[in-house]
Amino acid sequence: MKSRGIFPIFKGSLVIALLGLAACGETAPILSGSGGGSGGSAERKSVSAFSQFPDIPIPSGTKINVDKTLVFGTKPWYGQLALSSSSNANQLFDFYRENLPQYGWQEVTAVRAPTSILTYATAERVLAIAIQSATLTGSDVTVTVSPRGQPQPQSVPGAAPAPGAVQIAPVQRLNQ
């Protein structure tokens, strides 16, 4: 009999715990301005979340998808930033092309397509932005920032291989 009394309590606790987890949103707002609102706790968290990415323009109406974001470091930061925006994909494409140079990024390539890709670089880092229309409205944006690799010298015929380079022996045919 006691187990019957415990089961409804356990079941109720489980439902409350699941509702609590569901209340933890998948997105957090990011402000594109410097704040200046009421200064509430939620607003301060929004500003601090955005302040970690001072070298990336963020359009208004954009939220960070915490579940799909993985970022390391702060100055500079590297990783993948997942955003949900209320803007459509074409607006975002134009926004980033117009604003990224003001943040020190130089365009490498840009392709407007169902999944648009923008690639930018600085002396130390490479930035790739993928923009897709969301299922219902708005767009999903993935911003990936990585360290810029060092260019590898190209081999010159007859020159000694670079230190640490892997040498592949020529293929020899066997007479059959």
Which residue from 121, 129, 118, 84 is spatially nearest to 104, judged by alpha carbons? 121
Q: Is residue 164 part of a domain?
A: no
Pairing outcome for strands 125-133 and 139-147: antiparallel
Q: Is residue 1 part of a domain?
A: no
Instruction: Round to whole Å and give the CA distance between 66 and 138.
Output: 18
Q: Is residue 19 part of a domain?
A: no
**Sign, Cα dihedral of 103, 85, 43, 41:** negative
Is the peptide bond prior to 76 cis by the omega test (within 30 degrees of 0)?
yes
CATH of the domain at 126: 3.30.310
Full residue range of the structural domain in which residue 99 is found:
26-147
Instruction: Round to whole Å and give the CA distance between 48 and 35.
Output: 10
How do the pLDDT tens digits run along the chain, 176 residues long? 544 554 444 444 433 433 333 333 343 443 333 333 334 444 444 444 667 788 889 888 889 899 999 888 878 889 999 999 999 999 999 999 999 999 999 999 999 999 999 999 999 999 999 999 988 889 999 999 999 887 766 666 666 666 665 656 566 666 65
Q: Is residue 83 part of a domain?
A: yes
Per-residue b or e along 71-97, where b marks 16 or more CB atoms closer than 10 Å to that residue's CB: eeeeeebeebbbbbbebebeebbebbb
User: How many separate domains does the chain show?
Assistant: 1
